[in-house]
């Protein structure tokens, strides 16, 4: 299985493909599923910022488009512009959608270029859940 460093390196690589001509804030993400497969995503901006797509949601969407249906277990996120590049609120909610076992590990790079990790429940303790009656 890939190490957290391997996943972060994949996120670093794909951050080079980011389309971020407005913010100049490139982000790459690599998601790992229990199947052992990884999928990559980078941010894709639009002049209407609300239409932009974050790297995390891009990676998850790619996995779904490729037919992945196993458990999402880890995500590595990297930006050359920011150490500890945490997912935004929208991406945290997306991660929660695929967090059936409440254990998604979020891998980031710290100030010393080391891998650090958090769990989604640590950084997003209260998510929206649709309770259909």
Domain of residue 72, residue span: 4-123
Beta strands in the chain (DSSP E): 28-33, 38-42, 72-78, 105-109, 115-119
CA 9 centroid distance within chain:
13
Q: Tell me if residue 68 is catalytic.
A: no
**pLDDT tens sequence for the chain (133 residues):** 799 999 999 999 999 999 999 999 999 999 999 999 999 999 999 999 889 999 999 999 999 999 999 999 999 999 999 999 999 999 999 999 988 766 899 999 999 999 999 999 999 998 888 887 6
- Considering the domain boundaries, does residue 41 fall inside one? yes
Please report whether residue 32 resides in a domain.
yes
Which one of 45, 56, 68, 109 is the catalytic residue? 56
The domain spanning residue 21 has which CATH number?
A: 3.40.140.10
Q: Please state the domain count of the chain.
A: 1
103 contact partners, CB below 8 Å, separation of at least 6: 73, 119, 120, 121
Quote the pTM value.
Answer: 0.95
């Amino acid at each position: 299985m890939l190490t957290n460093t391997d996943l972060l390196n994949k996120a670093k690589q794909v951050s080079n493909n980011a389309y971020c001509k407005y913010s100049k804030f490139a982000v790459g993400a690599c998601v790992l599923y229990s199947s052992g497969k990884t999928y990559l995503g980078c941010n894709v901006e639009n002049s209407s910022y609300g239409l932009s797509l974050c790297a995390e949601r891009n990676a998850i969407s790619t996995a779904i488009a490729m037919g992945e249906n196993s458990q999402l277990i880890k995500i590595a996120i990297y930006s050359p512009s920011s150490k500890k590049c945490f997912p935004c609120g929208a991406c945290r909610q997306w991660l929660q959608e695929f967090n059936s076992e409440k254990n998604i590990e979020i891998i980031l790079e710290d100030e010393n270029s080391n891998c650090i990790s958090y769990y989604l429940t640590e950084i997003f303790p209260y998510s929206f859940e649709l309770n259909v009656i």
